[in-house]
Structure 1
Amino acid sequence: MEFFTKANIDFLGKRRVFLVLSLVFNIVGILVTAMFGLEYGIDFEGGTEIAVQIQPPPEVGEIRAAIGAAGFHGAEIKSYGRPNQFLIRVKESSGQTEPSTAILTALRERFQDRQLTLLKSDKVGPKIGAEMRLNAAIAVVISIVAILLYIAFRFEFIYGLGATVALVHDVIVAISAIAIVHHLGLLRIEVNQSVLAALLTVVGFSVNDTVIIFDRIRENRERHKGMNLIKLMNLSINETLSRTINTVLTVVLVLLALLILGGEVLQGFAFTMLVSILTGTYSSIYIASAFVIWFLEKVRKVDLEGEYRRLKELERQAAVQT
């Protein structure tokens, strides 16, 4: 099934409105994130990691409930080798006793009829967490710069800049959305390695739509020589619109299933991916291409808008006469 197979939507005719809306939302998002902050996971803030063996093995939900009752919320619980071995990671809070001791006490009280053995106990300090936050930010920046160089080499430098602006927009929106929903209590999302993986995945995934649109623009420039660039970009976006919607729709359905049914562990990854995929589709149409037009008009002084308006007026007059 295909959507909008013969679309003729003037996407870039209202580009200024969408650019202003995007700019406002990004500024508001940055301010909200600065005011309320992000809740970092153990990887980026520090905490305690212990491995235990419980025989017979309980359900992960039972372990999570026992740890939550002890005051450790948002714990990461994973399988650790055998079915009866579990890796538990919690953040430290001021005023609490030694986390490993408190967790073991809570588990022994909850599973009094089972054999519990401590396999290991490690601590991630705040300094290491800060270093990992810095490395995570560097990883995102390096990936964006690499994409800038790739698109600049494959197309033109200005197109690489447009794609980069769109990617930065997507990352800011995703991080802002995390801060907002977490502060409002709609979802409990910690910025951890899963969220970082989602951001890096989206940096590569969302640029895919941009590359496809830019590739169609390059093809149409050869096919329709002399066509106004705004009109040509609109044509290219409309020609790839069906493919874009079909691809995004399949991904969104999977991410919605993960977000609703995946539980607390996968919520951060699924939500970050979902917001970023939708934002990436929007930015591929309204940010990347619109930035190229803005650059050509403001920096290189090419009157694309004036020419486009004259063409639209001629088309309107021709339609009236017929």
Structure 2
Amino acid sequence: MRWFETPNFDFNGARKVAYIFSAILFLASLGAILTKGLQYGIDFKGGKEFVLDFENPVSVVDMRSDLSVPLGATPELKLFGSDSEILIRTDNEQPISEVQQIITSSMTELYPDNPFTVIKTDVVGPRFAEDLKSGALQAIIYAIVIIFIYILIRFRNWTFSAGAVAALIHDVVIVLGIFTLMADLVPFSLQVDQAIIAAFLTIVGYSLNDTVVVFDRIRENSNVHKGMDFMPMVNKSLNDTLSRTVITSITTLFVVTVLFIFGGEVLKGFSFALLIGIVLGTYSSLFVASSLVVELEARTKKS
């Protein structure tokens, strides 16, 4: 990492190219979301869930594959407390008794030497799903509003707030767009559920942390280099924090990549969202948030 000791990259000089790149990604993502629509999980569209307690441990991966054909779609499966208790969630529209019969008969046929009992059945109704969807959307909106106020109070400049919030919206919309476009192309589920909402909020926090570090250095340099023009000072601040930004991103990517590879089927979508979000968060801190601050500051001075 020696080439990061005294970097002198012209980030602001490349901001127009970054604007074009971000605009293409953002508009393509927004178009995909509006035309194709998001694929919601059971949490947000309703469905049925069952908890089965087997005598011996079973494989969640094998069971998910075995139930896909009888249920007409790949169900959501995860361990429920122990290696022998399995939570099965499906959006099959048949009555719950018929769905339970399909599951129990399939399990009896597939695991004749491993008896089980159904210890729980439940229905996630559409009203509950709609309330949950509304609550998730509100959580993201409230987070963005609070972040705007926090940045405004901390840096006493609305341009910093606008740059930070624009970068966050940029990251979340593009991740959602990638999920929409790749939903039918990857071998794992990219349905939007509670875990994915948690991933989005994590992405917001990660991207914000990177942005605040850069903004802090801009504030420090504005006090130290009072005669320097604003754009060169922002560029200097980005270079000053570049080593920290890149090392943090790479180490975080290592951890999330391990989670993606070894975390199991249930965490694939969550870790995939984080992988994209970390890359986008780093990019937006360097090329979106700071560049928008430069643009807004220039427009403010002109007016």
Which TM class, normalised by the smaller chain length?
over 0.9
Match of 2:176 in 1: 175
Q: Is the 8 A contact 2:50 2:88 kept in 1?
A: yes
Preserved CA contact (<8 Å) 2:48 2:96: no
The residue type paired with residue 64 of structure 1 is: R
Q: Deviations over 1:243-283 (max 9, x none)?
A: 10000001111222222333321111011111111101111
Structure 1 segment 100-115 matched on structure 2, within 5 A: 100-115=100-115
SS of the equivalent of 1:226 reads: coil
- 3-state SS in 2 of match to 1:184: coil
* Aligned pairs, number: 302
Aligned twin of 1:40: 40
Amino acid at match of 2:165: T
Deviations along 1:25-58, one digit per CA (max 9) or x if unpaired, are: 2111110122222211111111111111111232
| Paired AA for residue 78 in structure 1 | K
In structure 1, give the amino acid aligned to 2:144. I
Per-residue CA deviations over 1:132-185 (Å, capped at 9, x if unaligned) read 111111111111111111111100221011100000001011101111111334
Which one is further off, 57-66 or 239-248?
A: 57-66
Deviation at 1:186? 5.8
What is the rounded CA distance, in whole Å, between the counterparts of 2:98 and 2:239 in structure 1? Answer: 60
Partner of 1:54: 54
Q: TM-score, normalised by structure 1?
A: 0.88
Q: CA deviation at 1:81?
A: 3.3
Alignment check: 8 A CA contact 1:3 1:245 kept:
no
Question: In 2, Cα distance between the equivalents of 1:187 and 1:110?
Answer: 23
Q: Distance in 2 between matches of 1:256 and 1:138?
A: 30
- Runs of 5+ unmatched residues, structure 1: 303-322
What one-letter code is carried by the residue in structure 2 that aligns with 1:149? I
Cα distance in 1 for partners of 2:72, 2:196 equals 20
- Identify the range of structure 1 (4-13 vs 91-100) with the bigger mean alpha-carbon deviation: 91-100
1:310 maps to none
* Identity across the alignment (%): 37
Tell whether 2:29 aligns with 1:29.
yes
Q: Which moved more, 1:154-163 or 1:261-270?
A: 261-270
Q: Which runs of 5+ in 2 are unaligned?
A: none
Q: After TM superposition, give the deviation of residue 89 of structure 1 in Å.
A: 1.3
Instruction: For 1:272 and 1:3, locate their aligned partners in 2 and report how far apart those are by CA, in whole Å.
Output: 30
Q: Which residue matches 1:271?
A: 272
Q: Which residue does the alignment assign to 2:286? A: 285
Amino acid at match of 1:233: V
Residue 47 of structure 1 contacts residue 124 of structure 1 at CA under 8 Å; is this kept in 2?
yes
Q: Which residue is equivalent to 2:193?
A: 192
Deviation at 1:96, TM superposition (A): 10
Pairwise CA distance, 1:72? 5.0
Structure showing greater Rg? 1
TM-score of the superposition, structure 2-length normalised? Answer: 0.93
